[in-house]
Structure 1
Amino acid sequence: MHAGYAIRAPKESELPAVVHAVNEAARSHDPTAAARTDDEFRHVWAQLDTAYDVRVVTGPGGAVCGYAELSAAAAGGRIFADAYTHPAHLGAGIGTALLRWMEARATEMAPGVPAAGDAAPVALVNHVLLDGAADRMLRARGYRRTRIHLRMRMALGGPPVAPVWPDGVGLRACDGTPEDLRRVHACVEEAFGDHWGRVSRSYDQWAGDLLHDGFDPALWLVAERRGRIVGAALCREREVEGHVAGEVGQLGVRREARRLGLGRALLLASFALFAERGAGSVGLDVDSESLTGAHLLYERAGMVTTAGIGRFELELPVADGARR
């Protein structure tokens, strides 16, 4: 890095500055990127060992201008990385420094990460926008692109299209009780069971990821048939370009209820819900090679792709004398 820049573990008091730097970095590449919140980062940091697995870069004067974190999947042999450089500090070598740290730390972590199979190597995973500087840097360091995800969005205006529900299917909001949340979890786990790269999550793991500050059960739509949840759209409110926006975090339909139009109905119901709440747009991320053709469903509903995000993986060597 250039003179005056330093990389170190973060201080708890720096969390708001980290959130600001991350949001500035994300929006500089894609204005439709949803803003992250202090509560989200506070939740993430509570699950990580920030002394080892999180780094900030400070610039001349001490301001936070770079950020990176690492987290290991519960299974599947993957360590996930996330890193950002404030746009005002591009060209100072921050991205390279953070990437080197992530690779070194991930190599230390690798022996403790459950592998996908007996002979499968542990890999470091980065998600970056396609055809940009980060994409080129990862390729130059030997990363292999394994998947492309699409960020899609649609403006909300005018009367929403009314969903058509399959016979015998009714819609309601999750009631937020532990019993209902467990039923939603079971539905989502089954619905995404054949998703590429999917790692199953226990209820506690799932709840730990989703049920924190900002969770609103009224935004979780569930479709039932004969008392059984057969589909769900797990939504939340976000902020995009300074305005309230909706996000469909997960939309899944059990196999027994597919090809009946239920996915489209849940999507349209989500649009209507956000329109009622005054959101100006709604967005989501989707696998470009979804086995169910989800991205095509979203296109037919009026959503457009605003960014392509590549998943890049680097196989890691096993380090001797790993620290943790």
Structure 2
Amino acid sequence: MNTLMMRPYLGKSDIKAIADLVNTCDPVGQLDKDKSVADLEMEIEQPFFEPKKDVRLWEDNSGNLMGFGHISRPQAKEAIDGYLYFYVHPRAHQESLEAEIIRWSERRMRQLQKEKHLPVNLRSSSRDDLRDRCSLLEEHNFKVDRSFFTMSRRLDEEISTPQLPEGFSLRPLAGETEIKAWVDCFNQSFIDHWNHHELTLTTAKFWFNDAQYRPDLNLVIVAPNGTIAGFSYASIYPEQNNRLGTKEGWINWLGTSRNFRKMGLGKAVLLGSMQAFKTAGMDTVKLAVDADSLTGATRLYESVGFKPVQTWLSYVKPVIS
């Protein structure tokens, strides 16, 4: 039997091998889109993340990467949520490697519990049709606490013109000078959403400094008093589209500040994003939405032609010392 050795993340030199592993694992992997080198570098090198502690790699005797796990941790004040992402090469599925990665993640979360003196939860997710992965998480005492839809909409169908209340305008974010106002709108949009973690100015600047960031796809609705009332932060992933022969765009985040709800702003900025993707040459737009959202987000997306194409299950496990 090939012995697998665990080692820490050594830096950006590991990114290419990790991206290759993640894409090899699809469709048994966790995500419904490929991961490029740029995507993974953004995830692993994000602010407040400690890759030397929160990433582990498993290699065979020949140095081939067989498994990868990392824990993403938003900043927390009351409890720490660690989001476990893990991938195992198809050739290593019989090595109980998935279970070893989960055990490593639990040990890491216990360390954080001792360091921060806060309750900790380990989280992971799976498409609902990946029964082996769901069963693995359930065998390790993870419980489903939420479900999400991936929704899709073709752009060759008619897109309505955005309608705004008098005095409101729709445009791309102006730049560095508006980032703080954008972060405020983001947090006001999601403050009452399930499992919200406050976005920091540091993280937002990190996102907007990404080489793949498209200012023309980061749209905002500005109120008559100059306040950012709503936004849609969207992306195109060229490496993924080239690899799969697709022309897809993704709406990463869309929200309306709770002081400006029930005014049609969410629909307006959504339609604006769809038009921006069409102008950029995309033929499909996708997004993820909380299936149990109290704001009626799913109904909003369905009203402009989005349809669910996948269901995702969010799993959680309290970690006790």
Matched, 1:42 2:41: yes
CA contact (8 A) 2:18 2:68 kept: yes
Partner of 1:286: 289
CA contact (8 A) 2:10 2:52 kept: no
Partner of 1:53: 54
Shift, 1:149, TM fit: 1.6
Partner of 2:229: 230
Shift, 1:273, TM fit: 0.6
Note the alpha carbon deviations across 1:233-284, whole angstroms, 9 max, x for none.
0111123533232111110011232222211111111111101111121111
**Which shows bigger deviation, 224-233 or 67-76?**
67-76
For residue 313 of structure 2, give the secondary structure of its aligned residue in structure 1.
strand
CA contact (8 A) 2:183 2:201 kept: yes
Partner of 1:62: 63
Note the alpha carbon deviations across 1:178-209, whole angstroms, 9 max, x for none.
x2111111111111111111122332243335
Matched, 1:148 2:151: no
Map 1:271-310 onto structure 2 (within 5 A). 271-310=274-313
Partner of 2:194: 196
Partner of 1:321: none
Shift, 1:77, TM fit: 2.3
Residue type of the alignment partner of 1:148: S
Map 1:95-106 onto structure 2 (within 5 A). 95-106=98-109
Partner of 1:206: 204
Partner of 1:243: 246
Separation in structure 2 between the aligned mates of residue 114 and residue 292 of structure 1, nearest angstrom: 34
Matched, 1:162 2:165: no
**Which shows bigger deviation, 147-156 or 186-195?**
147-156
Q: 2:269 aligns with which of 251, 261, 266?
A: 266
CA contact (8 A) 2:267 2:300 kept: yes
Note the alpha carbon deviations across 1:98-149, whole angstroms, 9 max, x for none.
112111222222223463xxxxx31111122224212111111111211112
Q: 1:112 aligns with which of 95, 115, 120?
A: 115
CA contact (8 A) 2:151 2:308 kept: yes
For residue 65 of structure 1, give the secondary structure of its aligned residue in structure 2.
strand
CA contact (8 A) 1:78 1:113 kept: no
Residue type of the alignment partner of 1:316: V
For residue 18 of structure 2, give the secondary structure of its aligned residue in structure 1.
helix
Instruction: Go from structure 1 to structure 2 and tell me whether the alpha carbon gap of 1:268 and 1:87 turns closer, same or farther (over 3 Å shift).
Output: farther
Q: 2:87 aligns with which of 61, 84, 88?
A: 84
CA contact (8 A) 1:26 1:84 kept: no
Shift, 1:223, TM fit: 0.6
CA contact (8 A) 2:19 2:36 kept: yes
Separation in structure 2 between the aligned mates of residue 210 and residue 194 of structure 1, nearest angstrom: 25
Partner of 1:14: 14
Separation in structure 2 between the aligned mates of residue 16 and residue 45 of structure 1, nearest angstrom: 12
Partner of 1:187: 185
Shift, 1:29, TM fit: 5.6
CA contact (8 A) 2:22 2:29 kept: no
Separation in structure 2 between the aligned mates of residue 91 and residue 163 of structure 1, nearest angstrom: 53
What TM-score, normalized to structure 2?
A: 0.88
**Which shows bigger deviation, 168-177 or 45-54?**
45-54
For residue 270 of structure 2, give the secondary structure of its aligned residue in structure 1.
helix
Residue type of the alignment partner of 1:287: D
Q: Which runs of 5+ in 1 are unaligned?
A: 116-120, 319-324
Q: CA RMSD in A?
A: 2.2
Residue type of the alignment partner of 2:16: P
Give the length in aligned residue pairs: 310
CA contact (8 A) 2:164 2:264 kept: yes
Q: Among all aligned residue pairs of Structure 1 and Structure 2, give the percentage whose two residues are the same amino acid.
A: 24
Separation in structure 2 between the aligned mates of residue 162 and residue 90 of structure 1, nearest angstrom: 50
CA contact (8 A) 2:29 2:87 kept: no
What TM-score, normalized to structure 1?
A: 0.87
Separation in structure 1 between the aligned mates of residue 24 and residue 164 of structure 2, nearest angstrom: 41
Residue type of the alignment partner of 2:105: M
Separation in structure 2 between the aligned mates of residue 243 and residue 66 of structure 1, nearest angstrom: 28
